[in-house]
Structure 1
Amino acid sequence: MRLDKYLKVSRLIKRRTIANEACDNDRILVNGKQAKASYQVKVGDIIEISFGQRTLKVEVLNIAEHVLKNDASALYRELQ
């Protein structure tokens, strides 16, 4: 699954267009490297998202095309 779609489906970022812009502006790292929106996310990838001063770091646990809002957090695990 594409990185921008994964960020939207997992609800880490609200809309896919915003996820796409974040990738274009180098605010997303996957496994420590800058990632494009077209990057194919795999289970075990570490994604870092920069929200201004705050950085969110998560590990991909699962990949699914459609997820209910309550189940979205099961797709990733937040890291410190």
Structure 2
Amino acid sequence: MRLDKFLKVSRLIKRRTLAKEVADQGRITINGNQAKAASIVSAGDELVIQFGQKQLTIEVESLRETVKKDEAASLYTVKKEE
């Protein structure tokens, strides 16, 4: 699944276009490598997302095309929040 789509489906970022902008600015890494919006995300990957002063490290648990709002958090596990 594309990175921008995963961020939208998991509701880490509300809109896919915003997820694309964040990725294109170089504020997301997948397993330590710089990520683009079209980068492929798979289960078990570690994402580090920079939100201004906050840095969020998550591990991808599962991938689904659509998910209900209350189930969105089950797609990932927060490992670290700085």
Aligned residues: 80
Stretches of structure 1 lacking an aligned partner (at least 5 in a row): none
Kindly report which structure 2 residues correspond to 1:33-52, keeping only aligned pairs within 5 A, or say none. Answer: 33-52=33-52
Deviating 4+ runs (over 4 angstroms):
none
Tell me the TM-score normalized by structure 1: 0.98
Q: Give the RMSD, CA atoms, in angstroms.
A: 0.5
Look up the match of 1:72. Answer: 72
The Cα of 1:33 is off from its aligned counterpart by 1.1
1:17 alignment partner AA: T
Tell me the TM-score normalized by structure 2: 0.95
Aligned-partner Cα distance in 2 for 1:13–1:57? 14
- Give the % identical residues: 54
Aligned-partner Cα distance in 2 for 1:38–1:46? 16
